[in-house]
Amino acid sequence: MKIAVLLTCFNRRDLTLACLSALYNAELPKGFELVVFLVDDGSTDDTADSIRINFPQVNIIEGTGSLFWNGGMRLAWQAALKIKPDFYLWVNDDSNLYSDAISRLLKTYQGLIERNETVGAILGSMVDPKTKVLTYGGRTKCSKINPVKIGPVVEPSVLPKQCNFINGNLILIPQNTVDKIGILSEEFTHSMGDFDYGLRAQKVGLNCWVAPGVYGECELNSIEGSWQDKALPLEIRVNKMKSITQLPPLKEWACFIKRHGGNKWPLLYIDALIRDKAPRFWLFAKRKL
């Protein structure tokens, strides 16, 4: 059985190589094979050449330099569709996977199928390498008023737990999900694609599950130097809010809330419009100053 591993990278050569090393040293159940599809989106640190030397079996796809996370993962996924695998595995290249991570995800999948549960995606939770505090995984809705208000990372248990939102750091997706909803949406460039995919799966009756335990280590993106960093001058923070890696552009956020915001989406759009047109006031209103 084939597992198509999907990654996208940009100028993180050492992290990318470490991630690939963990993948190829992973413990797999008998009869399973990994086929890696990696998009190098215009790296200038010799990432692609280093991969060719150290991991010649990796299928490298050259990006345009402007794909970002969602665009890169879509391109990798489109290439992987051609081999008709049984599963797809999303992996962020800054995630250090434990050696038994993939085998435990597959075991969780089999257990859920035996219980006649529907499976759209299975998530492996990540912890900080130093503090071991949860950083990424599944999340639940945390507001009865706002359908897209995202709660904290779900604490994994000894049994699988359902979640609403999925962080794309480590996710196992069966072919059945792709048959029903396709791949990541082309409407998104960087962020929101993973959340959108999980919500789309649930709309067709495929649940998203947080697998038991922890599956690897990944540092949480720091707010230092970001639009949320109150130590920065206001003007710099406002400029950073315009970056596609910081906040989703208005058009993309509008698509997300129209799909998943229910009858509250017009109010959510007004909030986003204020953020876009009057960012200083928005920061003040959100008590972010």
Residue 17 predicted with pLDDT over 90: yes
Question: Given this model, what pLDDT does residue 66 score?
Answer: 94
Tens digits of residue pLDDT in 45-83: 999 999 999 999 999 999 999 999 999 999 999 999 999
Task: Say if residues 64 and 42 touch (Cβ distance below 8 Å).
Answer: yes
Question: Given this model, what pLDDT does residue 285 score?
Answer: 92
Tens digits of residue pLDDT in 109-128: 999 999 999 999 999 999 99
Residue 288 predicted with pLDDT over 90: no
Percent pLDDT > 90 in the chain is: 98
Sequence-ordered alpha helix ranges (H) in the chain:
13-24, 47-54, 68-80, 101-114, 175-181, 193-203, 234-241, 250-260, 265-277, 279-285
Tell me, letter by letter, the H, E, C secondary structure of 65-106: CCCHHHHHHHHHHHHHHHHCCCEEEEECCCCEECCCHHHHHH
Range 181-202 average pLDDT = 98
Strands 59-62 and 33-40: parallel
Q: Which residue has the tokens 């998203």?
A: 208
Question: Given this model, what pLDDT does residue 258 score?
Answer: 97
Task: Say if residues 172 and 109 touch (Cβ distance below 8 Å).
Answer: yes
Residue 244 predicted with pLDDT over 90: yes
The model's confidence at residue 41, banded by pLDDT at 50, 70 and 90, is very high
Q: Which CATH number applies to 2-217: 3.90.550.60, 3.30.70.3270, 3.40.50.10480, 3.20.20.70?
A: 3.90.550.60
Task: Say if residues 55 and 20 touch (Cβ distance below 8 Å).
Answer: yes
Which token pair is 103? 């085998």
Report d(CA 164, CA 160) in Å as an integer.
13
Range 169-181 average pLDDT = 98
Question: Given this model, what pLDDT does residue 289 score?
Answer: 81
How many Cα atoms are found within 13 Å in the side-chain-facing hemisphere of 170? 30
